[in-house]
Structure 1
């Protein structure tokens, strides 16, 4: 056999051989076999046996049953990795760094300082006392978690690596005991009911109650069975905390540890998902119900030349990957029956894109502009019909038709059938002749459909995407990495988890996203996301050819205006849709650096109890000192100020401008605004898709396209970072500054402040310029 075949056979033997139950015995030279008595003695003494030819000596005498089970799991996973990954999985198996934080879904620490029970067995045994304590903890957890956990590792690194025996044994309890848990399935891990023995089994029921204590209760189930059980009452959005609660209960009960000494890396990042969003699951039923109602009514429209044949939701809220799942708005209804407000109602509302396809027809015009005008005409007719037949409020602009129903605003888009046929039949080259709106809608629909399927397969996918989007936006990368690109990056770690298993917790999935971003070889490799195994070898070859073609277009220094990330899918083999223009090579380098820093911090937080002032919140706080200048915005002029995670403040830098807030816009509707007003007048107060931040950034990009680059948070940040473009900061430019004060950076920033008057709070030049006067921006 070849060497690789020997490796495969060996791994398969470790993973699957039944010989391990009997033990492996290598007799002495010239001896036919080991005696039965010797085998019995070894079997009684050790859980795993590899008997040395010298006779009676077990090479696996230090291996525990749990350790061997983990070894078998790793061998099986390695075989699968070698089978599924290209090049035999060499890079995944031998070149990928694996530590506890990324390996286990749930990482926990027990602080055992001063725990005298650990030393009760003394130090004179063959097994050290702390190893016996590891086995005790493992036994408790294995019994409590049962089939919820695939594997459990308990390790007590009881001394620091630099410890010397000359310093004595007083340091042996300073380091925490580490617990790593890999989940078997999400359904089992998130289950809130654990069923124990039947009531008739007295001894087993007594043992069950002794183990679980006051949590055990006798319940009757739907099948008529009466059994002992444990119920972990939990809301749907917090099911990921069930496993944590189980561990805290049994560890606290059987080891007499307080909650302060049981640290679980489980929910520390949930604040970023709940802030400004509330319960992320509560409104999902309302949203899907509203969409179903709209879809049925669209299909029932009779007064159209072509009937509506299909309706597909495109917004990320429908696939549960939106950072801020939309809440139903009081004024976005057919009838407004009650205007009593328990809280301030937002004056802005985000529309949710919905794609419509019509019946086929050969009467569509061939001209691109005429096609767009025809689609607009259809949308207006659809809106009028919905309004006339069902009383649904519809608003139309030159580009969009919005429908208000059941508390939501749906933005209708039509995909032209001929454009879809061209894309399906003739591929990407022909697709460039299709109207851009149809191409965009097609890619959106394909992406929405595929990622929705992914969410149905992996329920943890949605929360991980939301964390990833929060991180990207919090570090002002919203313009560099589109939401859809983030969704595909997270999809990749679920579809290609090797050499690990599929992530089954939020923190673990988020850490893997950051590692992918920071460690992937973006310069020499395309990232191929094959969600439904649709890509054939010829498709992969086409993708690689497209990647090489783009790479050849770079200059001698390896940089170009092309995007630095090549993200390919079955519907986008040339990486045009989401990463065609961004992130650029320089933006990607910045992204990678930020991701690497976050990986280090997140890993450190998982293993260390205290890391100074740097806590979990710092993963979503961006250092403002990394920009040449910053623009701070008035928080109460943001469209959704409740979404702001951390208000921005700068302690250094030169203040170039300050401004007072405008009175022309309020983010909330006050009760007095709604009192004694007719329904239609109230609906007119609702601002659909209004975002002053987006408008301000668009104006700045138009005005200063060659001067500075903007970095912003599209999810509701109150700061915009500025970095001078290379052409502006060149030596020639600096000479021009001395000759022409109009090119002075502080002058430029003052003009930028004028563009955002009433919205800009202050502008700071972080690289202090020469003495400049303070200017007040009029509101």
Structure 2
């Protein structure tokens, strides 16, 4: 929905609904003509890009009255109810990879320019498919909501979900393409749970023009990735191999996640949800609890759970089901910060239009910042699972460094290391963390 403050003109101060202080940007890629005047140094290239973006944003402000905000890395333009984040793509950096040259999961990543180009190519294909099948959009939104609701936001990217749903329309046999949200959603869950991810790449052919040679090349890439992973389990190899015309080696969206273990968990959850959805459809009745269970994840499947203050989420209105843990052992409790508020207060609207707009925070998400801090400080201790759309709970599972199995018959024997880690995480998230609970180990 358009944000009431992200407009070129003045602000209507008689707004009846709460107005969010945060807004997500829409990325806009700008490609300039090639020139030999660009610097060779990578840092100098980025500074030159920023200078170009500032000139472009300044021109939009002077000629069209658009407001823009600038940081060292980004330039955002507020227009027609949306924030547009301007990005310049530079051809010299398109093929580069950041980090070291080996395939370590922590060290490999695409360059910013390469990522930008891949997102542009992906968006072009998705927009064309959405034009052919109007029901595609609602199915994708439902699929993304399911992925987030079950705390898989760090596991499966939005682009990967879009490719999986695209496959339902491009290769629907033995059925027709989906005609309803529920049908498409069920097929999405079945695809996740039943596809042979270990032995087959999923080829998403948007234009139906993959040649036999290209398909053979994809299969060769897939087999090579599997062989390299068998030789070295630390080797970066996609457990979910998604091949497209613009990405025949599955490097764009699933190169580093899901891992094999994460994919197993994803398959288990999708199998359970598909079975429940099938049961609800066959019952042909209104079971509100059953339908809610499709988007309500059990918090008992984690080693620990972090509950967040709901009124400190960037978009608390997106929260589906408030989380509570009454039976589990609480090891940390925290008070809510008074610094951040997700909505403007009535007093803020006494400011003039420009001052009010300056308080709007583009792409600010305290939950995402908190998770990034956990991953930096405790990458080997815990794995974080969360809902990027609007969840108030983070699931934590023990990492390789803390892989000792907890005894199911004695829940009081949690290691001191785990408790110290959780208390430190509570300190890192001070002001955002409501409580942290250790989940009782289940008997097997």
TM-score (norm 1): 0.52
1:727 aligned counterpart, secondary structure: helix
Q: Are 1:716 and 2:382 an aligned pair?
A: no
Contact 1:346 1:669 in 2 (8 A): yes
For the structure 1 residues 421 and 701, does the alpha-carbon distance in structure 2 shift closer, same or farther, using more than 3 Å as the test? Answer: closer
Contact 2:239 2:263 in 1 (8 A): yes
2:121 aligned counterpart, secondary structure: helix
2:429 paired residue number: 756
Q: Are 1:596 and 2:271 an aligned pair?
A: yes
Per-residue Cα deviation, 1:153-195 (whole angstroms, up to 9, x for no partner): xxxxxxxxxxxxxxxxxxxxxxxxxxxxxxxxxxxxxxxxxxx
1:690 paired residue number: 364
**Aligned partners of 2:126, 2:144: CA distance in 1, in Å?**
15
Q: CA deviation at 1:358?
A: 1.8
Contact 2:238 2:250 in 1 (8 A): no
Q: Are 1:368 and 2:368 an aligned pair?
A: no
Contact 1:559 1:585 in 2 (8 A): no
1:410 aligned counterpart, secondary structure: strand
Match of 2:418 among 745, 752, 766: 745
**Aligned partners of 2:110, 2:201: CA distance in 1, in Å?**
27
2:55 paired residue number: 381
Q: Are 1:526 and 2:238 an aligned pair?
A: no
Contact 2:96 2:110 in 1 (8 A): no
Contact 2:201 2:219 in 1 (8 A): yes
Contact 1:742 1:748 in 2 (8 A): no
**Aligned partners of 1:558, 1:400: CA distance in 2, in Å?**
37
Per-residue Cα deviation, 1:16-67 (whole angstroms, up to 9, x for no partner): xxxxxxxxxxxxxxxxxxxxxxxxxxxxxxxxxxxxxxxxxxxxxxxxxxxx
**Aligned partners of 1:415, 1:382: CA distance in 2, in Å?**
14
Q: Are 1:457 and 2:132 an aligned pair?
A: yes
For the structure 1 residues 617 and 560, does the alpha-carbon distance in structure 2 shift closer, same or farther, using more than 3 Å as the test? Answer: farther
Q: CA deviation at 1:340?
A: 1.0
1:447 paired residue number: 122
Q: CA deviation at 1:698?
A: 0.6
Per-residue Cα deviation, 1:65-119 (whole angstroms, up to 9, x for no partner): xxxxxxxxxxxxxxxxxxxxxxxxxxxxxxxxxxxxxxxxxxxxxxxxxxxxxxx
For the structure 1 residues 601 and 449, does the alpha-carbon distance in structure 2 shift closer, same or farther, using more than 3 Å as the test? Answer: same
Match of 2:7 among 333, 338, 344: 333
1:295 paired residue number: none
Q: CA deviation at 1:407?
A: 1.7
Q: Are 1:621 and 2:283 an aligned pair?
A: no
**Aligned partners of 1:537, 1:366: CA distance in 2, in Å?**
40
Count of residue pairs brought into register by the alignment: 425
**Matches of residues 381-460 of structure 1 in structure 2 within 5 Å?**
381-418=55-92, 436-460=111-135
Q: CA deviation at 1:608?
A: 1.6
Q: CA deviation at 1:472?
A: 0.3
For the structure 1 residues 613 and 446, does the alpha-carbon distance in structure 2 shift closer, same or farther, using more than 3 Å as the test? Answer: closer
**Aligned partners of 1:701, 1:672: CA distance in 2, in Å?**
37
Per-residue Cα deviation, 1:521-558 (whole angstroms, up to 9, x for no partner): 00000001011124222211211111111100123798
Match of 1:493 among 143, 168, 173: 168
**Aligned partners of 2:231, 2:416: CA distance in 1, in Å?**
31
Per-residue Cα deviation, 1:268-301 (whole angstroms, up to 9, x for no partner): xxxxxxxxxxxxxxxxxxxxxxxxxxxxxxxxxx
Q: CA deviation at 1:497?
A: 0.4
Q: Are 1:567 and 2:239 an aligned pair?
A: no
For the structure 1 residues 381 and 445, does the alpha-carbon distance in structure 2 shift closer, same or farther, using more than 3 Å as the test? Answer: same
**Aligned partners of 1:609, 1:438: CA distance in 2, in Å?**
50
2:43 aligned counterpart, secondary structure: helix
**Aligned partners of 2:416, 2:159: CA distance in 1, in Å?**
38
2:401 paired residue number: 727
Contact 1:358 1:417 in 2 (8 A): no
**Aligned partners of 2:440, 2:112: CA distance in 1, in Å?**
43
**Matches of residues 183-582 of structure 1 in structure 2 within 5 Å?**
327-418=1-92, 436-555=111-230, 562-582=237-257
**Matches of residues 139-154 of structure 1 in structure 2 within 5 Å?**
none
Higher CA-based Rg: 1
2:4 aligned counterpart, secondary structure: coil
Per-residue Cα deviation, 1:733-776 (whole angstroms, up to 9, x for no partner): 99xxxxxx9953122211111111111111110127xxxxxxxx
**Aligned partners of 1:414, 1:667: CA distance in 2, in Å?**
31
2:332 aligned counterpart, secondary structure: strand
> RMSD in angstroms over aligned alpha carbons?
2.5
Match of 2:348 among 627, 650, 673: 673
2:230 aligned counterpart, secondary structure: coil
**Aligned partners of 2:342, 2:233: CA distance in 1, in Å?**
46
**Aligned partners of 2:427, 2:20: CA distance in 1, in Å?**
27
Per-residue Cα deviation, 1:591-636 (whole angstroms, up to 9, x for no partner): 0000000110000001125698851111000010000110000110
- Asked which structure has the greater RCO (Cα within 8 Å, sep 6+), the reply is 2
Q: CA deviation at 1:330?
A: 2.3
**Aligned partners of 2:121, 2:396: CA distance in 1, in Å?**
35
Contact 1:518 1:592 in 2 (8 A): yes
Contact 2:197 2:239 in 1 (8 A): yes
For the structure 1 residues 753 and 505, does the alpha-carbon distance in structure 2 shift closer, same or farther, using more than 3 Å as the test? Answer: same
**Aligned partners of 1:689, 1:500: CA distance in 2, in Å?**
40
1:653 paired residue number: 328
1:183 paired residue number: none
**Aligned partners of 1:534, 1:399: CA distance in 2, in Å?**
39
Contact 2:21 2:342 in 1 (8 A): yes
**Aligned partners of 1:644, 1:622: CA distance in 2, in Å?**
13
Q: Are 1:586 and 2:261 an aligned pair?
A: yes
**Aligned partners of 1:724, 1:561: CA distance in 2, in Å?**
21
**Aligned partners of 1:710, 1:419: CA distance in 2, in Å?**
32
- Residue segments in structure 1 that go unaligned for 5+ positions in a row: 1-326, 424-433, 735-740, 769-779
Q: CA deviation at 1:362?
A: 3.0
